[in-house]
A and B are shown apart, each in its own frame.
Chain A
Amino acid sequence: GAVVSQHPSRVICKSGTSVKIECRSLDFQATTMFWYRQFPKQSLMLMATSNEGSKATYEQGVEKDKFLINHASLTLSTLTVTSAHPEDSSFYICSARGEAGARTGELFFGEGSRLTVL
């Protein structure tokens, strides 16, 4: 299946700093990428949808100035958590979909990034 790479897998930072997470589609062009957040024993919560070359669409309740998403190319999207606080600690997962996936709906996920804010 398609491969989506996410980096870093784990990051620990101090409160008030910013953290960038990268999501790359390795063997297909991702026209759309999605960013999810997952708390322990909870479902994946969609944060935002990004289409290459355009602004991300954020879900209700997600602060766009805090969670900056950039989808500058068909293979790379980044999520920057700005001025991180302990409550931002979570498991962040990206997923990507190519043109074929737009018809089938199939999403391919990255390995996730565990963010811990001290």
Chain B
Amino acid sequence: EDQVTQSPEALRLQEGESSSLNCSYTVSGLRGLFWYRQDPGKGPEFLFTLYSAGEEKEKERLKATLTKKESFLHITAPKPEDSATYLCAVQAIVTGGYQKVTFGTGTKLQVIP
């Protein structure tokens, strides 16, 4: 069964204090790994898609990287507006040939001014 584990569950940073969030996955036939940002009471907002080990993508203060077993979301010099829950999801081909997306439980990030 596909598994996605995110750590830490919660992270509290001072403004400007860089850090990384981890997403470990166990999946057969990975077709893509996604990062989303979710604000309280809102639907997830798409950030990145990574397809193969070694791939990196950047957007403003965020940088996502991918290995064969995990992905990291690096946050450089975070600001209070970066506070949110960050979700990782993997897409794989399952029995029957259809694609299934499995989400992790998220990392709740709080950036303190």
| Interface of A toward B, CB cutoff 8 Å | 1, 4, 6, 34, 41-44, 46, 49, 57, 91, 93-95, 102, 104-112, 114
Closest 3 CB pairs between A and B? A109-B43, A105-B32, A105-B91
Can you give 11 contacting A-B residue pairs, CB < 8 Å? A34-B101, A43-B87, A91-B41, A94-B43, A95-B43, A105-B32, A105-B49, A106-B46, A107-B34, A108-B46, A111-B43
Residue B67 lies at the interface, judged by CB distance under 8 Å to chain A? no
Residues of A within 8 A of B44 (CB): 44, 93, 95, 109
Complex: A91 Cα to B42 Cα, angstroms: 9
B49 adjacent to A112 (CB under 8 Å): no
Total residues of chain B contacting the partner, CB 8 A: 23
A43 adjacent to B105 (CB under 8 Å): yes
Complex: A112 Cα to B43 Cα, angstroms: 5
B43 adjacent to A110 (CB under 8 Å): yes
Residues of A within 8 A of B32 (CB): 104-105
Complex: A102 Cα to B98 Cα, angstroms: 10
Q: Within the complex, which residue of B4, B41, B102, B106 is in contact with A114, where a contact is CB–CB below 8 Å? A: B41
Complex: A91 Cα to B44 Cα, angstroms: 12
Residue B45 lies at the interface, judged by CB distance under 8 Å to chain A? yes
Residues of A within 8 A of B102 (CB): 46
